[in-house]
C-alpha cells in the first residue's frame, strides 16, 4: 500500500521531497516484500556509500545531477535520465550537485 503521498491528485514528484543542508533525505512511498519505492534528495557532496541490494534498483533522476557508481564504474545522471543498479552488485549514490531521485527496487 502506498503512503506519504496524496491520492487522486496530480503531483510533481520532485516537489514531494525537499533538500536539507548537509543531508540525504528519504521519503518511503511503498515498502513490502516485492517492491520498495522511495524518494531521495541529496545535498551537494552528500552520498550513500557502497552497498549491495537483493533487488534490482531502478533510479530516475528528478532534479539536479547525481553520480551512480556500479561495480566501480561511474555514471552521471541528469534530470529525466535513469539507470538500473542490478541486484547483488556493489553500488553507491553521490550528489554531484543537489540531486533528487526516485528509487524503485524490485525484489
pLDDT tens digits in sequence order for the chain, 107 residues long: 899 999 999 999 999 999 999 999 999 999 999 999 999 999 999 999 999 999 999 999 999 999 999 999 999 999 999 999 999 999 999 999 999 999 999 99
d(CA 48, CA 19): 15
Query: For residue 18, which phi and psi values (nearest 5 degrees)?
Result: -110, 155
C-alpha of 34 from chain center? 17
| Cα(46)–Cα(68) distance, integer angstroms | 12
The pTM score is 0.96
Amino acid at each position: 500500500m502506498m503512503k506519504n503521498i496524496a491520492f487522486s491528485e496530480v503531483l510533481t514528484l520532485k516537489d514531494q521531497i525537499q533538500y536539507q543542508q548537509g543531508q540525504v533525505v528519504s521519503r518511503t512511498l511503498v515498502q513490502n516484500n516485492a517492491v520498495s519505492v522511495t524518494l531521495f534528495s541529496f545535498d551537494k557532496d552528500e552520498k550513500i556509500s557502497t552497498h549491495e541490494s537483493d533487488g534490482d534498483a531502478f533510479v530516475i533522476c528528478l532534479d539536479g545531477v547525481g553520480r551512480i557508481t556500479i561495480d566501480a564504474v561511474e555514471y552521471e545522471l541528469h534530470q529525466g535520465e535513469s539507470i538500473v543498479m542490478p541486484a547483488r552488485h556493489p553500488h553507491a549514490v553521490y550528489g554531484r550537485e543537489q540531486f533528487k531521485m526516485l528509487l524503485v527496487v524490485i525484489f
